[in-house]
């Protein structure tokens, strides 16, 4: 199975009235089926990379989920305005992002066609992992 990618312009909220557009690359690798990697490309020399639970992202489009370093929740929607969801990332330094729901949801749904929910750990050689831990 191939990796799946989505390039999307998202919004980084610096405060209540100041936002900047930011390029973000989402990627899904069926060989790491529980995770989605996000690479934020800013005007800095180094991109910022985060790995987040695929199920957490799926749930965060419609419910407030997460605790600790990653929290997601749907934005209040106005009629005629594109649906979005929000993501807070970080501990000591926090960043807020707003992500368009529709293109992200379509891409994420395709990842569940690659590896169905609940089957992510099928095929794991648990005996080999236990031997590594011993």
**Domain around 84:** 4-133
- What percent of the chain shows pLDDT beyond 90? 61
Rounded to an integer, the average pLDDT of 47-74 is 94
The pLDDT score that the predictor gives to residue 91 is 75
Q: What is the pLDDT of residues 89-130, one digit of tens each?
A: 987 788 999 999 999 999 999 999 998 898 887 877 777 778
The reported pTM is: 0.85
Q: What is the pLDDT of residues 83-93, one digit of tens each?
A: 999 999 987 78
Q: Name which residue leads in pLDDT, 39 or 16.
A: 39
Q: What is the 3-state secondary structure (H, E, C) of the chain?
A: CCCEEEEEEEEEEEECCEEEEEEEEEEECCCCCCEEEEEEECCCCCCEEEEEEHHHHHHHCCCCEEECCEEEEECCCCCCCCCEEEEEECCCCCEEEEEEHHHHHHHHHHHHHHCCCCCCCCCCCHHHHHHHHC
Number of domains in the chain: 1
Task: Looking at mean pLDDT, say which of 13-17, 29-33, 58-62 comes out highest.
Answer: 58-62
Rounded to an integer, the average pLDDT of 41-59 is 88
Q: What integer best gives the mean pLDDT of the chain?
A: 89
Residue 41: pLDDT band with limits 50, 70, 90: confident
Indicate which CATH number applies to the domain containing 94: 2.30.31.20
The pLDDT score that the predictor gives to residue 13 is 92
């Amino acid at each position: 199975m191939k990796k799946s990618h989505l390039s999307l312009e998202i919004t980084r909220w610096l405060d209540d009235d100041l936002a900047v557009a930011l390029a973000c690359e989402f990627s899904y690798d069926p060989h790491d089926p529980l995770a989605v990697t996000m690479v934020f490309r800013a005007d800095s020399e180094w991109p910022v990379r985060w790995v987040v639970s695929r199920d957490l992202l799926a749930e965060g489009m419609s419910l407030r989920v997460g605790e600790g370093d990653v929290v997601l929740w749907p934005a209040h929607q106005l009629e005629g305005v594109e649906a979005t969801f929000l993501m807070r990332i970080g501990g000591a330094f926090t960043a807020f992002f707003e992500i368009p729901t529709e293109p992200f949801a379509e891409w994420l749904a395709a990842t569940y066609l690659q590896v169905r929910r609940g089957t992510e750990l099928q095929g794991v050689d648990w005996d080999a992992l236990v031997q590594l831990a011993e």
